[in-house]
Amino acid sequence: MVSREDGIRRRGEFLWPPLPGFLGKAALAALLLLTSLAPLAPASAATAAVPTAVVPAVPTTAAASVASAAEDWTAPLSTRGRWIVDADGDRFKLRSGNWHGASGTWNGSGSTDDDANHHAGENSGRVPLGLDRAPVAEIVAGFREIGVNSVRLPFSNEMVHDSRPVTDDAVAANPALRGRTPLQVYDAVVGELTGAGLAVILNNHTNTTRWCCGVDGNERWNTSQPVQTWEDDWLFMARRYKDDQRVVGADLYNEVRRNVWDDPNWGLGDDHDWFAASQRVGDRILTEANANLLIVVEGINWTGIPVDGFAHGRPTLEPVRNLSHTLVDSGKLVYSAHFYDYTGPNHSGATGTGETTDPRYRDFSPAELIDVLNRQAFFVTAEQDRHFTAPVWISEFGVGGREETNAKARAWFENFVDHLIRTDADFAYWPLVGWHENRRGNGWALLHWDSAGRRMGVYDGDDWRAAAWSRLVGAAGRTGRVAPVTEWSMLSPDHGDFIASQRMRALPDFDSGARKAVCPDGQRLLGLAHTGNRGLCSDVTTGPPAAAGGGPEVVKDERYVAPGGDWASGYTKLQCADGRFVSGYSVRGAAVSGVLCAVAPAGVITAGTGGRTVWFDRGDNRGAAPKGGDFASGRYKGQCADDEYVAGVAYTGRIGSSRTPDALFCRKLT
């Protein structure tokens, strides 16, 4: 049995190259303890004793009904505002668990054959854990029994390319899987899960097949492999399961975090930019491999050096407020976050040397915890009609079971479950499967099997988590049809093209050498920033406005400004022809280069000289109660009303001006 502290020491050893002298020994020790950034499931924890709750020995009626309803949904899944829905438009709540193992359990030192060198002594053998102890059908049936309707299934990039057959021992309880590669075993597990009516979310957990998540070569999607390999592997996996409609999601990468030298970032445009990398591969999956998949983007898990006095923290989804994704299909984005009691908004989870004085999540009062959780993640679902509004899937959370006696850890779990219920959140417990011997082992799992194949589960009567788990899987929440909602989308051509229109991606470059931004198909431009090149799109009040016929037109001059229709005197006006609306724009540096004008169906937009000028060169001009959220934080912004469309953009070329947008020409929809 391996403690979390022992696991940290082994994983941190010899991983770091010499660091600059100014950091000092304390900083180096703390950097080594970055290896504790992962949600490591301790085998046991012992502090103040907490009485064991009396719980039912079998699932509650609510949990059982959830399990029995696992097949009552129609693939594929998509999103409507903050909700995930099935193909019939009915809410599909992800009541998920993580079935780990295929991404690796080896701690990174010593022989991979020795169980002691694997996390908590559990050697998965490069396949989902437990296949050596129980038939896959029995394991999957256990998931349904405890109320799970979906499974997050981690894999590594190494697994995708690993041609070595798994050992017979790794699949001892599933002899039909002998001689297969890890990927072929993964295939069989996917098939068993979806065949039982469960949804599967593919999760790229690591680059290499080893335990996650410290300074281990798996910190970023491109830490130990080229970004091209990462993207190609995702296209391969998305295509591989394209015909299985119950493979519903692509969870792009797990717990993006700092390595020895560098932090990941959200929007700087370099090779550490997680926002840009996830945006690009998400679009590629949807356009080149499998248009049915949900694209799951996790926030940043850690930046900075965990030493008091050094900047450090867990950004999670906070950057989304100022910079959100706009995929080529606006109904496919899901954001994700992880929470564990022993970490915190500025606490890495380290213990002993290098531990900072920052509070852990378990140190907060219930009210403080709610405030922190909402700030870090839950605002994405709570705030409607924003460019960032989307479902949030808490794709990892968990706590020790029978041997967890830490009162704070237990209280945190109860409080966290309460918040999941309160917010009607989608969730995935970590982990579903573990080992036990004589009812002792890595107690974090909800289901355990011993070496003789005997199962121990959360509902066996001696697991204090059972009551909370029953509350969670059986909680009342939104069900039934979710009506289509207005979409609000940010355009951010900060460092390159940001073309969210599949139609425009299929056409030639409409302004070679310029950076281009185009609204998703079915949306129109409604807002622009004076500086910074950001834009806001929506389908508010009209639904899809583009006509089926007629190609887009690029306008770079005043050819369509009618005599007597000078709506921005002394300024250069890029105006669409009558019957067209602005769906995109191009910029060179900070300067406006052109506007992209799309054809509208007859009777949708007005024509002629009518309209109004919205100036935003000296302050915000967005109306009394603008929707869409702050799409260009810290910049002046202009926005047409919900019942208008942008017909033109004005700028000035006078001395001292950067030719940035100064005014919008807004016309009424009919």
Residue 321 to residue 333: CA distance in whole angstroms: 15
Q: What local confidence, expressed as pLDDT, does residue 548 receive? A: 55
pLDDT tens, position by position, 408-450: 999 999 999 999 999 999 999 999 999 999 999 889 999 999 9
pLDDT class of 72 with cuts at 50, 70, 90: confident
pLDDT tens, position by position, 297-345: 999 999 999 999 999 999 999 999 999 999 998 899 999 999 999 999 9
Q: What local confidence, expressed as pLDDT, does residue 546 receive? A: 66
pLDDT class of 149 with cuts at 50, 70, 90: very high
> Structure tokens of 297?
């983007």
Q: What local confidence, expressed as pLDDT, does residue 32 receive? A: 44
Residue 59 has pLDDT above 70, yes or no: no
Within a 13 Å sphere around the CA of 209, how many CA atoms are in the beta-carbon half? 20
Maximum average pLDDT range among 18-22, 98-102, 348-352, 354-358: 98-102
pLDDT tens, position by position, 262-306: 999 999 999 999 999 999 999 999 999 999 999 999 999 999 999
Q: What local confidence, expressed as pLDDT, does residue 45 receive? A: 34
Q: What local confidence, expressed as pLDDT, does residue 49 receive? A: 34
Where are the chain's structural domains?
Answer: 78-87+97-474, 488-668
CB-based contact 655:630 (threshold 8 Å): no
Would you list the DSSP string of 341-401?
A: TT-BTTB----STT--SSPPGGGS-HHHHHHHHIIIIIHHHHS-SBTT---EEEEE-----
Q: Which range, of 5-19, 87-101, 481-495, 634-648, averages the lowest pLDDT?
A: 5-19
- With DSSP H G I counted as helix, E B as strand and the rest as coil, what are the percentages for the chain, rounded to 5? 25, 25, 55
Q: Which range, of 25-39, 103-117, 244-258, averages the lowest pLDDT?
A: 25-39
Q: What local confidence, expressed as pLDDT, does residue 35 receive? A: 44
Helix or strand (DSSP H, E) at 294: strand 294-298
Q: What local confidence, expressed as pLDDT, does residue 56 receive? A: 40
Helix or strand (DSSP H, E) at 663: strand 663-668
CA-based R_g, the chain, Å: 26
CATH of 78-87+97-474, one of 3.40.50.670, 3.40.50.1100, 3.60.15.10, 3.20.20.80: 3.20.20.80
Between 69 and 392, the higher pLDDT residue: 392
Average pLDDT of the residues in 106-118:
95
Q: What local confidence, expressed as pLDDT, does residue 17 receive? A: 33
Q: What local confidence, expressed as pLDDT, does residue 37 receive? A: 46
Mean pLDDT of the chain: 90
Residue 31, classed as helix, strand or coil, is helix
Helix or strand (DSSP H, E) at 9: helix 4-12
Q: What local confidence, expressed as pLDDT, does residue 602 receive? A: 77
pLDDT tens, position by position, 132-145: 999 999 999 999 99
pLDDT tens, position by position, 524-570: 999 999 999 999 999 998 866 665 567 899 999 999 999 989 999 99
Of all residues in the chain, the percent with pLDDT exceeding 90 is: 82
